[in-house]
Structure 1
Amino acid sequence: WTTDISQRTIIAFSPEDNFQVRLPAGDNDTSLLNLVVYVRDLAGSVTQVNISSVNIIADLATINDLIDTITNLSSTITNNPIVRLLSSGNQNVVGQIMTSLSQEFNQMNNDNLDKAISSGIPAATISVSSLGSSSLQQISIPLNESALINYNIQLNSLANVRDYLVTFITNLLITTSNSIILQSSSLAQLTQSTNQLTRNTLMLVSNRCYELSAALYSMFEKISYEDAQSASNQLFQCASNILNAVNGPLQGRTEVLDLDSSRANVISTDYDIDLESAWSNLNLFSDRNDFSTETIEKNRNIYYQKQLTNQINSQVTKMISLLTSSLNIHLNIGQSSLMNTSQLFVSLETISTESLKDRLVKQVENARFSIPSDFILNTTSNSSISLRSKINPLASFGNFQNTNLSRSISLSIIDQNGNEVSFQARQDNPIQLIIPRDPNLLIPSMYLQNVTSINSTINNLLFNYHYINITSSLPISVHFEIHSLNRSLAYLFIYKFDQTPQLNSSINLIDGWTIFCPFNLTNDDIYRYFIDNQQTSTHQSLIFGIRELNLTETNNYCLNNSSINTSLPITDEPYDFTSNYELLIYTSGCYYLDDNNNWKSDGLIVGSLTNHYETECLSTHLTTFAGGFIVLPAPINWSYVFANADFMKNKTVYLTMIFTSVVYIILMVYARFKDKKDFEKLGVTPLADNNKSDHYYYQILVFTGQRTNAGTDSK
């Protein structure tokens, strides 16, 4: 290890007392590398021996030569000294080389990301923030195309190198627990840069980590808890890395790799014999009527990415079950196992059933589960259960991309037989959970509403109306933030789903309302209001209106608290705004992952504690959860539209529409006339030289395609 002893990495194991090791580079600043040797006797007792620290400097010239050789597909690659060492098949040698190279590649990737972000590329579009990290200082400048090109060049270069190197570690023999620890540690290092993992790399690593998990499970009763924990920690990390990597491109969080795109669009080897091949079914990859090459190639790559995602999700679920069982056997009531790294948080704890009541399960980044006191636990065991708490840096894609900025959190209850136990809370006393978001999400500035320029009296408007589209495949909550440029003003806020709200002495057509009073303002001088997902679930749009309260209304409804909730401040007189205000509207959602890896929302309610950086959810069951988040564009200001819709202010717009409509009608008439002429030509048309006495024939050739067996015997 370099500076943090908890980040120790295994580099070799041997039954011999004399062996060689190849060490990874030391600390970036001091080049110092700390070493420790564990000596185990035949009875399983372990002695720790600290040896002198050493200074190790990476041989960057040799590493860069390897990168160039692999990138350029050189024919001399087998003569490369590093490749020759990897080809030896020796677990220690391969593990040491892989660990050393991976650490250097990871550092190169971090430097590449830092350079791209400092050039104005949003961090959330090219990377997934590690757990526990703070928000980066990002500069708001136009996208730097050249910086993005340079970033992608190095990204794809290192992705190609990892794609080549992974084959050397996935076929090693699995012998002992030390073998599992060494190989899983190397794989965790290799997959740490999740933006550089091709589908081929992911598939090989997923299969290998599953094999290692199964091997660990087969020997968990014969090894020590320390060995089981060490191996499990690395395999948990491997599982998290490949999940983040396979979901990154689908969630729009990492770039699509060139190698993946090219492989997806290479003609399939079974193209001529497999008539049902998905590769050649263009309907799978078209965008409605868009069959352009660019669209087909893009969607074909997405198709194969989704297929691999489903495969890896299934495999990772099995891995986690195996690893949980491997650790559970070593834990008694009150004992726990914790893995807390930048890639993954996993906590496994054995507790009594009774102690589950009113339990607060904390994770990192303020993620937590608050278990109520009243619930139904479907288990026959009254003695002990295990709690497995987990958080991943990126939520799975599933069938819904609104989760692309969310962490994924889960809490599972496991019985003594290793089976997950069903948990059911009451609807009126649900589980409260907090789901954090990626800290590098960018929150846009509030939109200024220049309402003082609108003369409400002339247009007879009582409110300043705004329209927002809330159409979504899954229910969402809507959150309003209003900042008045004059903090002493009070406002009446009304809304109506799918139509314009109306409120006066004769009409009360609204779905909800609230009054914003100055004494309710927080330190940031922002009024906040939210509508939960239960209210929006069956609607497509929402129109809300805002107006200032006059001095009398402010005194009655803000200074006299008793009258706030008893009646509405209703007026029939248009009222001009005396100050502008700013708006920011965003949506959130609470979702859980079902058995088919699809996000669902039934039974979940978005809580009022939801903000820019986390979602509060209320649930009656336990599983894997994620939160949705979208900042809506500036709402349509209908008051402005109505106030400026007359012909004299919009001559160009109206004349353009009139001219376009007239031309369209003329073309419709002309097209109909030509269609009628074409119908008159339908039928058999004899050729001019067709004569019964002729003794020659016309040959008609029909091409049915170039596939094997695509011909026809029809005559």
Structure 2
Amino acid sequence: PSGSYSASELQKIIRGSSSILKTVHKGNLKETSQLVQGLAAMIVSLSRNSISSLTGSESVTTAGSGYDEISLNGITKLKSLSQKEKDAYERSRDERAQVLAMLSETFATMTCANYEQIRLVSNTIQVVSTDADDLSRTTQINCKNKLVEVADAVVGLSGSLSKERLTELSMPVLATLSQIITASNVHVSHGTLTDKRSSMATPFGDYDTDWESSRDGFANKPLSQASSAFVDETNGVVQTQVSTEVTSSCMSSITKLTKSMTSKLVMNDKPMNIKSSQLSLVLQKSEPASLSGSLVRTGRSRVTLPTNMCSVTGGPEGRCTGARSSVSLTAMATPTNPYVSAATNNGDCSVSTTSEVVTLNLSDENGTEISVTDTGSSFFDIFLRKDPTFEEPNYIDPNPMQPIPRIPEGIEIPGTADGPFGKNRIAEQKLILHEFQLTGSDQSVHFQLRFENFTLGVTPCRQFLVVGRLWKPPSLTDASEGFDWWGMIPSHTRFCNETPGPNDPDPFTFFVTNAEYKEAKARVKKSASDWDRSIDKLKFGVREMSQAEWNRYGPLTRPSIPYEYTNQFSIKYTVRIFSASCYAIKPGQPSWNTGGCTVGPLTTVRVTHCQCTHLTSFAGGWVESPNTIDWNYVFSNFDFTKNPTLFVTEIVIAVIFIAVFVWARRSDKKDLEKLGVAPLPDNNPDHKYLYEIVVSTGMRRGAGTDSKVFFILSGERDETDTRHLMDRSRKVLQRGCVDRFLLAVERPLGSLNFLRLWHDNSGEGSAASWYCNYVSIIDLQTRRRYHFVVNRWMAVEEDDGAVDRVVPVAGNQEL
């Protein structure tokens, strides 16, 4: 259908001059659906061509990676384009969005009273909403409103439809509902130009004005970037409100449809799988006993059900099997976060827009939801896989200048000798420290270590001791300091020769559980001051273990203090630290929470293992450790001879910086002088009545003057003598400048009437002329202001050739 229309139709439709629009609005349902689908398909084709020409890949989309194999996250690719290319893409995207918005207005005229009408309407909306990037707020709302109506119509017909026909009718509706949810959330951070303009016309949201806030803000950005960021943020505030409404309504409709489809399931039949680009749905009806411990795959994730499903579902032992014991399981996954507006309650470990969300639900034979709040000793093991475009953080070399790291030598402590002839005690750290900062309180921590040039089963085995502590560095020498957690990497030396099984934790990861981290955080908060921000710092100490202590330290076997071994490292290593959280949210809740879920031991950098005791929607939060600078290491390896070029470059840069700094400081002082008020040199010290004179010189070429400028100021009571506008410490009346002078007179002049202003034309060349914008005079005793608007040349070669002008005080109309 896209070949039926040319790209020029876009502009005609936007201007309202296209004959197609008239046909769309006048046609019957079938004709209207065909025309709308044809136009929408053309727009999808134009979108693909636009993206392909910019990025080299027609499968790029800013809506994240869906479940179809061709969709890829395009945010990174689009950000890498030049500003000119970005602007061109956004303009064409906005044009497409405007056309789709106009097409979506036709949905209100479409009826969906029977099977065929529902099929036509749902297919039409599905084509219109194919590209989430191009769906403006108007389109999102129009699609949402019609889809809610369509879903209700499907539910109304479900009683008279077979399982197959109900599934056929529901699938496009479910797919389109998920597409609209994705679009509404993507546009929070990636709105169209039209939506951004309309957002700026709305009342502003509750913005963060705390200058100490951790929010990025706009203060340190260039004006153009700050302006663009402010527009984006305002659009995000408005779009978040729309997203919340769209997600709530669409999720409610999805729930209604899945309940209708579940009612058609047959006990112990093969699970029903429905999959689209933005939705994966598994529906299954079975006995609790047969569900126990079973594996369910939905989207990119998988769920292992508890082994005690009979007690979880609340049925007596006699009802775990049989026809009256049926339980329906609904497992739904969306590739992007549908609750993007919901905050988290756990510091910086947030749920991203591209986080997959898995929703689990159980219902009885009557379709009533089974409330599950506690599974006892068993869990719903949920394995949440990250978006395929997720980039794993690199392992970091903590000692890049050393072929093999070394623990610092012990330091002699003066005054600790036993007697006059004894030796002072040597204080040894025994550890190399690594730091990680977290602001949350309910999350796990994963410290990963990798040996350089290590081959499984070939390289001689090594085992490292890892100790960790919150707030303060861990210690192996001082029992009063100690450490909070300890472990070994690998967890057992057998993993130097064998690979762990698929259900075994990574032996090269030291895992701090939620409970262990929460306990340490609570203990630290009792001891530390409220203002001490170092309580969020985790410090890990690492050392290579001697062969005599391999596999010694388990959960119940703590390393002794003082630690007796002093061997150095024999292999180079790199580290990676990250933290994970498991979140849950129920429809209508304003934020994600960690209650009822903990991070499991099978968590990896790509998969978050959540162990949950209840049913709702689940997602994984994640934060990685930045590449920090170890300043102790930097200064201990400060050697000019190793890299003279680098040091010479830094010295030259430092010298240039100092020179520029001195010049800038002198310029600042001169600017401060310009800001001051200069007393007129012919003021009489005995005169105490003061006026401030503000003189503005124009920006025109040659507007400034070196001529001597004089004035006489006249009021109702008196007038001044001839006075000279000058400052002995600097040049005044230069182009584009505003100069301030202090005039002293013997007594008040009364209400000012006019100002006579002239110069002697003594300046050389173009500096003889002067263009004056205005003169403002402030009575410093009464604070009354008088304005004399000039806006003319005082030059023999410009305007009327006059260098002497009488300017009356300006009235309200002139101002």
| TM-score, normalised relative to structure 2 | 0.64
In the alignment, is the contact (CA less than 8 A) between 1:452 and 1:578 conserved in 2? no
2:334 is equivalent to residue 399 of structure 1: no
In the alignment, is the contact (CA less than 8 A) between 2:465 and 2:542 conserved in 1? yes
Structure 1 letter corresponding to 2:600 = G
Greater RCO, 1 or 2 (C-alpha within 8 Å, sep 6+): 1
> What is the aligned counterpart of 1:628 among 618, 621, 641?
621
Cα deviation, residue 293, structure 1: 5.0
Gaps spanning 5+ residues in structure 1: where? 1-23, 25-57, 268-278, 668-684, 702-715
Q: Which residue of 1 aligns with 2:415?
A: none
Gaps spanning 5+ residues in structure 2: where? 212-216, 220-225, 345-349, 412-427, 455-459, 501-505, 522-534, 640-646, 669-687, 692-716, 718-746, 752-781, 786-815
2:329 is equivalent to residue 387 of structure 1: yes
C-alpha distance in 1 between matches for 2:312 and 2:626: 43
Moved more, 207-216 or 364-373: 364-373
Q: Which residue of 2 aligns with 1:617?
A: 610
In the alignment, is the contact (CA less than 8 A) between 2:301 and 2:382 conserved in 1? no
C-alpha distance in 2 between matches for 1:116 and 1:369: 43
Cα deviation, residue 136, structure 1: 6.6
| Residue aligned with 2:351, SS | helix
In the alignment, is the contact (CA less than 8 A) between 2:444 and 2:511 conserved in 1? yes
Structure 1 letter corresponding to 2:262 = N
Q: Which residue of 2 aligns with 1:437?
A: 386
2:538 is equivalent to residue 542 of structure 1: yes
Structure 1 letter corresponding to 2:536 = Q
C-alpha distance in 1 between matches for 2:92 and 2:613: 47
> What is the aligned counterpart of 1:466 among 419, 428, 434?
434
Deviation string, structure 1 residues 130-182 (Cα, Å, up to 9, x no partner): 11538979999993325544543443332232222211233312221111111
C-alpha distance in 2 between matches for 1:91 and 1:361: 41
Q: Aligned residues: percent identity?
A: 20
2:165 is equivalent to residue 227 of structure 1: yes
The 3 A distance-change label for structure 1 pair 428 and 326 is closer
Moved more, 136-145 or 586-595: 136-145
Counterparts of 1:368-387 in structure 2, within 5 Å, are: 368-373=303-308, 375-377=311-313, 382-387=324-329
The 3 A distance-change label for structure 1 pair 154 and 583 is farther
Q: Which residue of 1 aligns with 2:192?
A: 257
The 3 A distance-change label for structure 1 pair 452 and 588 is same
The 3 A distance-change label for structure 1 pair 562 and 220 is closer
Structure 2 letter corresponding to 1:462 = K
In the alignment, is the contact (CA less than 8 A) between 1:483 and 1:526 conserved in 2? no
Q: Which residue of 2 aligns with 1:209?
A: 147
Structure 2 letter corresponding to 1:502 = S
C-alpha distance in 2 between matches for 1:599 and 1:262: 31
C-alpha distance in 1 between matches for 2:127 and 2:281: 18
Cα deviation, residue 114, structure 1: 5.2
Cα deviation, residue 591, structure 1: 0.6
C-alpha distance in 2 between matches for 1:135 and 1:187: 20
Counterparts of 1:432-511 in structure 2, within 5 Å, are: 432-450=381-399, 453=402, 456-457=408-409, 461-472=429-440, 475-487=442-454, 488=460, 489-504=462-477, 509-511=482-484
Cα deviation, residue 433, structure 1: 1.1
C-alpha distance in 1 between matches for 2:569 and 2:363: 59
Q: Which residue of 2 aligns with 1:74?
A: 15
> What is the aligned counterpart of 2:512 among 505, 508, 531?
531
The 3 A distance-change label for structure 1 pair 568 and 536 is closer
The 3 A distance-change label for structure 1 pair 135 and 245 is closer
Moved more, 527-536 or 570-579: 570-579
Structure 1 letter corresponding to 2:444 = S
The 3 A distance-change label for structure 1 pair 217 and 564 is closer
Structure 2 letter corresponding to 1:65 = S
The 3 A distance-change label for structure 1 pair 402 and 331 is closer
Q: Which has the larger radius of gyration?
A: 2
2:569 is equivalent to residue 590 of structure 1: no
Cα deviation, residue 476, structure 1: 2.6
In the alignment, is the contact (CA less than 8 A) between 2:59 and 2:70 conserved in 1? no
The 3 A distance-change label for structure 1 pair 523 and 359 is closer
| TM-score, normalised relative to structure 1 | 0.72
In the alignment, is the contact (CA less than 8 A) between 2:582 and 2:599 conserved in 1? yes
Alignment root-mean-square deviation, CA: 4.5
Counterparts of 1:146-545 in structure 2, within 5 Å, are: 147-250=85-188, 255-265=190-200, 267=201, 279-281=202-204, 283-284=206-207, 293-294=227-228, 296-335=230-269, 336-373=271-308, 375-377=311-313, 382-395=324-337, 396-397=339-340, 398-400=342-344, 401-450=350-399, 453=402, 456-457=408-409, 461-472=429-440, 475-487=442-454, 488=460, 489-504=462-477, 509-517=482-490, 519-521=494-496, 527-537=508-518, 538=521, 540-545=536-541
The 3 A distance-change label for structure 1 pair 302 and 564 is closer
Structure 2 letter corresponding to 1:260 = D
| Residue aligned with 1:611, SS | coil
Deviation string, structure 1 residues 564-606 (Cα, Å, up to 9, x no partner): 9745376478765454322222222111113324211111111
> What is the aligned counterpart of 2:31 among 64, 83, 93?
93
C-alpha distance in 2 between matches for 1:565 and 1:391: 40
The 3 A distance-change label for structure 1 pair 506 and 411 is closer
In the alignment, is the contact (CA less than 8 A) between 2:63 and 2:73 conserved in 1? no
Cα deviation, residue 340, structure 1: 1.8
